[in-house]
């Protein structure tokens, strides 16, 4: 099967195809054949890592070498768990390319396990760096996000929502803030719950439900505003 063939597109890529449609985000696919241990990248994945096709041979070891040191163990745990049990996985993390530039990316995919043996992994990587950098943070947001540790968790949650729903950084923050106000749960706690679900390959159904609930909170606010305006 040739690299770039349409048949390489995983189910997860189709599921999140709206996220890959953003002109502001570089996105590409990967395919890992566990039996031959061959890893295939699309041209976009080569570019994201700072290479051109033919410069290097993609390997799982190379992939982990490009993860930010502080995110590497978490990424490995998420991927390893999916490879054992099968199913979908999702991780928001930092990637360091060959020129030592930092990217903030969303990696998602599906591991196929048959009779307890990993067969293949298909997925995509979405680079959210440009979108995150282009968004102007409001002064009020800085006050809400508070300390650096809390801000980091909220940024991760925003990145996940941006990738899933193809929305801006500001819209992602508004979803989190609206849900927090509606449920009287701290914004940081809402963000932490979202990040925890996104990093657990066994919780993809709960993650979908959680994101849907965030959207319902926003819908309720919109309807209430319309009613008051009328």
Q: pLDDT digits over 169-205, tens only?
A: 888 999 999 888 888 888 888 898 898 888 887 878 8
Q: What share of the chain is helix, strand, coil (3-state, %, to 5)?
A: 55, 20, 25
Residue 113 is part of a domain; what is its CATH number? 3.30.450.20
CB-based contact 13:124 (threshold 8 Å): yes
Q: Same structural domain for residues 216 and 103?
A: no
pTM recorded for the entire structure: 0.56
Q: Is residue 27 predicted with pLDDT exceeding 70?
A: yes
Tell me, yes or no, whether 1 lies in a domain. no
Mean pLDDT of 84-101: 91
Task: Give the whole-number percent of the chain exceeding pLDDT 70.
Answer: 79
Contacting residues for 171 by C-beta, under 8 A, at least 6 apart: 165
Domain region containing 154: 136-225
Q: Same structural domain for residues 142 and 165?
A: yes
pLDDT given at position 133: 59
Identify the band that residue 31 occupies on the pLDDT scale cut at 50, 70 and 90: very high
What digits encode the pLDDT tens for the residues 101-128? 999 998 988 999 999 999 999 999 989 8
Q: Same structural domain for residues 204 and 125?
A: no
The strand pair at 26-33 and 102-114 is best described as unpaired
Q: Same structural domain for residues 29 and 107?
A: yes
pLDDT given at position 230: 54
């Amino acid at each position: 099967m040739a690299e770039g063939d349409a048949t390489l597109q995983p189910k997860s890529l189709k599921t999140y195809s709206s996220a890959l449609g953003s002109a502001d985000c570089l996105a590409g696919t990967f395919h890992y054949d566990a039996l031959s241990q061959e890893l295939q990248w699309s041209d976009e994945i080569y570019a994201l890592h700072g290479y051109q096709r033919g410069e290097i041979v993609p390997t799982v070891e190379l992939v982990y070498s490009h993860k930010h040191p502080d995110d590497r163990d978490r990424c490995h745990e998420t991927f390893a768990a999916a490879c054992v049990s099968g199913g979908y996985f999702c991780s928001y993390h930092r990637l360091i390319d060959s020129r030592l530039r930092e990217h903030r990316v969303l990696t998602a995919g599906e591991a196929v396990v048959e009779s307890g043996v990993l067969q293949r992994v298909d997925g995509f990587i979405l680079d959210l760096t440009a979108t995150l950098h282009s968004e102007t943070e409001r002064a009020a947001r800085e006050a809400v996000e508070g300390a650096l540790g809390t801000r980091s968790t909220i940024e991760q949650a925003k990145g996940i929502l941006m990738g899933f729903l193809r929305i801006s950084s500001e819209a992602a923050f508004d979803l989190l803030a609206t849900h927090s106000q509606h449920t009287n749960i701290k914004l940081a706690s809402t963000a932490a719950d979202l990040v925890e679900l996104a990093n657990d390959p066994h919780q993809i159904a709960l993650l979908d439900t959680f994101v849907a609930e965030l959207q319902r909170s926003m819908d309720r606010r919109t309807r209430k505003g319309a009613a008051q305006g009328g």
